[in-house]
């Protein structure tokens, strides 16, 4: 908050200052200065608000030289300043406590909303990535048709690494479920082989996996799309643009 404040003691302006951040913090700082000590009990503090630091610089200098407060030293010039500017509307500093408190609460709410927005965007990205992997899975699985307890071991190449990562992400489902039902992929001790075990027979055969996997994949995609729609609805309600 940009503003100027003044100390009034026995109807005399004894100090004028400015703040381009928190007027309250600035005034609290003065309370520790020796020159203010004799006046703290009875001084009444007022403030007025401006739009920017250029204005606070100008008006602070103007009012210091207009009233010549005895506790001011800097920006004090001899003689008459030669201009007359109307007095601003001064407010009791005690009123500012509530105003700044509301501003802090508002900023905290905005920050909280922003964090919530970022969290939801992250969730949508995770869902979209999972949908991509599920679509890939539909074209990847037919080569293993009818098989269970598949042990896939491939050389470490960039292309195989992509397969490895897709399987890893599919096993590590965003909603806690995995169509592949297996163990997380791993690299062997030599660092040259990528291995993964998936479609565990004990679990997948009960699902009649090979007769139902396309339907299961589509259902899972639909669930992700529905969740993305729900999250985007929350984003719109919070006043943000939905994530495409």
Q: How many CB atoms lie within 10 A of CB 160?
A: 15
Which H helix or E strand runs over 207?
A: none
d(CA 93, CA 46): 5
- Ranges of beta strands (E only) in 42-163 are 44-50, 91-92, 150-155
How far CA 74 is from CA of 38, 65, 114, in Å, comes to 20, 10, 42
- CATH topology (fold) of 2-89: GIY-YIG endonuclease (3.40.1440)
Q: What are the pLDDT tens digits along the chain (244 aa)?
A: 799 999 999 999 999 999 988 898 899 999 999 999 999 999 999 999 999 999 999 999 999 999 999 999 888 888 777 788 889 999 999 888 777 777 777 766 765 788 888 888 898 998 898 899 889 988 888 998 888 888 877 787 888 878 877 887 777 665 556 777 777 667 766 667 777 778 888 777 777 888 888 888 898 889 889 999 988 888 887 777 777 7
Q: Phi and psi at residue 41, in whole multiples of 5°?
A: -65, -35
Strand partners, 9: 12
Contact 6, 15 (CB under 8 A): yes
- Whether 56 and 41 have beta carbons less than 8 Å apart is answered as no
Cα-based distances in Å from 176 to 14, 102, 179: 68, 41, 10
Distance CA(223)–CA(219), nearest Å, equals 6
Which helix H or strand E contains 1, and what residues bound it?
none
Q: How far apart are CA 211 and CA 206, in angstroms?
A: 11
Q: What is the pTM of this model?
A: 0.51
Between CA 226 and CA 74 the distance in angstroms is: 65
Could you tell me if residue 68 is left (phi over 0), alpha (psi between -120 and 50 degrees) or otherwise beta?
left
């Amino acid at each position: 908050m940009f503003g100027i404040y003044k100390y009034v003691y026995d109807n005399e302006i004894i100090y004028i200052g400015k703040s381009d951040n928190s007027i309250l913090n600035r005034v609290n700082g003065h309370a520790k200065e020796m020159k203010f000590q004799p006046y703290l009990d009875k001084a009444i503090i007022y403030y007025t608000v401006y739009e920017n630091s250029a204005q606070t610089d100008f008006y602070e200098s103007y009012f210091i030289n207009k009233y010549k407060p005895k506790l001011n030293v800097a920006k004090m010039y001899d003689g008459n300043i030669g201009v007359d500017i109307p007095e601003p509307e001064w407010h009791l500093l005690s009123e500012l406590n509530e105003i700044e408190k509301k501003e802090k609460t508002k900023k905290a709410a905005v920050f909280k909303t922003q964090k919530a927005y970022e969290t939801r965007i992250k969730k949508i990205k995770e869902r979209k990535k999972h949908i991509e992997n599920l679509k890939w899975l539909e074209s990847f699985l037919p080569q293993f048709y009818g098989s269970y307890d598949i042990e896939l071991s491939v050389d470490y190449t960039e292309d195989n690494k992509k397969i490895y990562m897709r399987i890893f992400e599919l096993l590590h489902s965003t909603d806690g479920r995995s169509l592949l039902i297996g163990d997380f992929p791993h690299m062997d001790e030599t660092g040259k082989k990528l291995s993964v075990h998936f479609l565990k027979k004990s679990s997948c055969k009960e699902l009649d996996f090979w007769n139902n996997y396309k339907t299961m994949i589509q259902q899972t995609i639909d669930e992700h799309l529905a969740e993305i729609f729900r999250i985007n609805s929350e984003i719109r309600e919070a006043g943000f643009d939905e994530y495409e």
